[in-house]
Amino acid sequence: MPLIRLKHRIALGFVVLQLLLAGLGVLSVIFIDRAAQGTAELYRHAYTTSHALGEVRNRIFEIKSILAHNMAFPGQSEPNYWIAEVRRHQEIIEQNLAATAGDDAPGLDLQAVQAAWPPLKTFIDQNVDAISSGNIDAGHDFFHRHGNWVFDHVVETITDVMIAANALASERVGTSETLRQELRETVIAVIAVALISGGLISAILTMAITAPLARLRSAMHHINEGDPTSVIPDTERSDEIGDMARDLELLKQEAWEKRRTQLKFATIFEASPDIVTISERDTGRFLDVNGGFETYLGHKREDVIGHSSFEFGIWASPDDRAALVTALMQQGRLVNFQSRAKRKNGEIFDALVSVEQFRVDDKDCMIFVARDITQFKRQEELLRRSLAELERSNRELERFAHVAAHDLQEPCRTICSFSQLLDRSDGAVLSAEGREYLGFLSRGAIRMREQIQGLLDYSRAATSPAPFQSVDLDQVLDWVLDELRTSLSEHQAAIHRQPLPVVRGDPAQLRQLFSNLISNGLKFQSHGNQAQLSISAKATQNFWDIAIADNGIGIDAPFQDGVFDLFRRLHGPEDYPGNGLGLTIAKRIVERHGGTIGLQSQLGHGTTIHFTLPAGAARPSA
């Protein structure tokens, strides 16, 4: 059975408490209403009726006194004044009688009071008229004959009713006291029930909420203390406590992952041999520096924390610092930015600086990583000078090879020419051995001339550059096949070609490249074999991959790595003539165009040469 969710249990507890309090409240309202009614009745009879009748009686006495005074001492009082006083007392009497007219309390004969007043009022009016008209004797006689009885009858009637009202009030006081006692008991009972209910609900909430929360709080304390073995309780619950426990478990895992990351960072930060600093972005004040900072710059960590690099003069000059700040503002981060720094002893060194911005503890911060590259700069300068010297030496060597090859051509031509003249003029008189020697001399001179021509071609491949332009390789292939038509015919060659692209390059060198590779494909064939050549192209990123495949004798695996070396021959000149420079020149041409060259071959199964050339403009539509 699934556990009731915590919010439902709390809601149910509050509903029960509200119903209980509502019931107690209804009972309290009932008792309070009864007490209020009793109190209202008490005030109504003990105070309202009794007070009103007492006021009526007092006003009657006042009127009687005024009439007696004016009869005994006529003329002493202003007529308008004492008559007005009589009338005022009469109005008050009538108002109080009107106030008691609606009282229907049992035992109060208020009708008798109401009936006794009109005769008395008439009697009073008659006496006022007699006194005001000067008929004092008649009025005095009438007052003494009837006045005492009329006044005393009304006063006695009022007194009887007041006695009855006071008796009723006393009875009501007892009832009110009883109701107040019941109200006190009810309130005490409500408070007791509320306290008991509150205690029960508190105990339930403690068991359902407070105790689990205390366990979770203890687990969180262990997590904050760095205890990796802490176990989060109540993760199996299906209510909100369980949700909180599972969230805390995730928080624990994230906290430990963060702690491990911080530990890794701290380890790298301290173990790094480079200069590493963390500073505020806006003020430049150092928040932390590593040991490399102290080692390379000579400043102690406790001295620089809270201060900026500008205060300690860490930069070689203000311009170096300004250049770095400008680059950082433009790029947002720096990677391998070259600058100069200054040690505490004043020594200036070259540094490679990387800067990354980040936010921590609501602060925009930066981490600087700087490496002393003074030694690298020295090595770089030495390497630059060595490369410059090597380039100069290579240029001189190539110039020497070009000049030497050019100068050696003349003796070779002389040897070849005079050997041929000697054979034609005196060949018949030479012995068989002499003619053989003459043949060796002639063939050696011809091979030397070919080698020298190859050297010149090799030298031109690098020393005679021409501006690159768009070159249609289909046109280059057409030109080469036309130049090699005799050799193609001799080998009965079949050419299988695919459309070739437009590339960027030197047209003359590309023609030489295709001529050398296709010539090799024709030359290195088994005796009597029909040559089959395939030329294709495939696009790669910004380059074209050209493939020239043949069905020739192939190259054995151990010798494939050296076939592009200078004067490398795998066969004797009597088997396959040539100077051993064809592939070497091809490699130099490809590399001059920024490409690469390689081969795939299997002995007896042909060779495929792959090389790449930079892509040119798209071929125009026909």
Q: Which of 173, 255, 248 shows the shortest CA–CA distance to 217? A: 248
What per-residue confidence (pLDDT) applies to 40? 56
pLDDT tens, 97-143? 887 776 666 667 777 777 878 888 888 888 888 777 777 776 677 77
Residue 572 pLDDT greater than 60, yes or no: no
Separation CA 297–CA 52 (nearest Å): 107
Angle formed at CA 96 by CA 94 and CA 99, multiple of 5 degrees:
110
Which tokens hold the place of 262?
Answer: 């911080």
Buried b (16+ CB within 10 A) or exposed e, 508-520: ebbbbbbbbbbbb
Q: Give the chain's domains with CATH numbers.
A: 51-161 (1.20.120), 265-377 (3.30.450.20), 378-450 (no CATH), 464-614 (3.30.565.10)
Separation CA 125–CA 67 (nearest Å): 10
Residue 474 pLDDT greater than 90, yes or no: yes
What per-residue confidence (pLDDT) applies to 498? 92
What per-residue confidence (pLDDT) applies to 548? 92
Coil, helix or strand at residue 428: coil
| pTM of structure | 0.37
What per-residue confidence (pLDDT) applies to 274? 83
In angstroms, the Cα distances linking 372 to 272, 292, 338, 405 are: 13, 10, 10, 50
What mean pLDDT comes out for the span 444-465? 59
What mean pLDDT comes out for the span 510-532? 84
What per-residue confidence (pLDDT) applies to 545? 92
pLDDT tens, 303-346? 888 888 778 888 888 887 788 778 888 888 888 888 888 888 88
What per-residue confidence (pLDDT) applies to 363? 81
Helix 50-72 and helix 79-100, axial crossing angle in degrees, nearest 10: 160
Separation CA 225–CA 222 (nearest Å): 5
Residue 191 pLDDT greater than 70, yes or no: yes
pLDDT tens, 403-453? 555 555 567 667 777 777 777 777 777 777 777 777 767 766 666 665 565
Separation CA 622–CA 616 (nearest Å): 17
* φ, ψ of residue 35 in degrees (nearest 5): -65, -40
Handedness of CA 291, 294, 297, 301 (dihedral sign): positive
DSSP 468: -
**Structure confidence at residue 478 as a pLDDT band (50, 70, 90):** very high
Lowest mean pLDDT among 226-240, 270-284, 510-524, 530-544: 226-240
Separation CA 293–CA 270 (nearest Å): 10
* φ, ψ of residue 611 in degrees (nearest 5): -145, 155
What per-residue confidence (pLDDT) applies to 443? 65
Residue 1 pLDDT greater than 50, yes or no: no
Residues 312 and 304: beta-carbon distance below 8 Å:
yes
Element (H, E) at 601: strand 597-601
What per-residue confidence (pLDDT) applies to 622? 40
What mean pLDDT comes out for the span 375-393? 79
What mean pLDDT comes out for the span 461-474? 74
Query: Based on the number of CB atoms within 10 Å of its own CB, is 285 exposed (0-12), middle (13-18) or buried (19 or more)?
Result: middle
What mean pLDDT comes out for the span 579-601? 82
**Structure confidence at residue 620 as a pLDDT band (50, 70, 90):** very low
Average per-residue pLDDT for the chain:
76
What percent of the chain lies above the pLDDT cut of 70? Answer: 75
DSSP 3: P
Separation CA 399–CA 208 (nearest Å): 96
Residue 518 pLDDT greater than 50, yes or no: yes
Coil, helix or strand at residue 615: strand
pLDDT tens, 51-96? 888 888 888 888 888 888 887 777 777 777 888 888 888 888 888 8
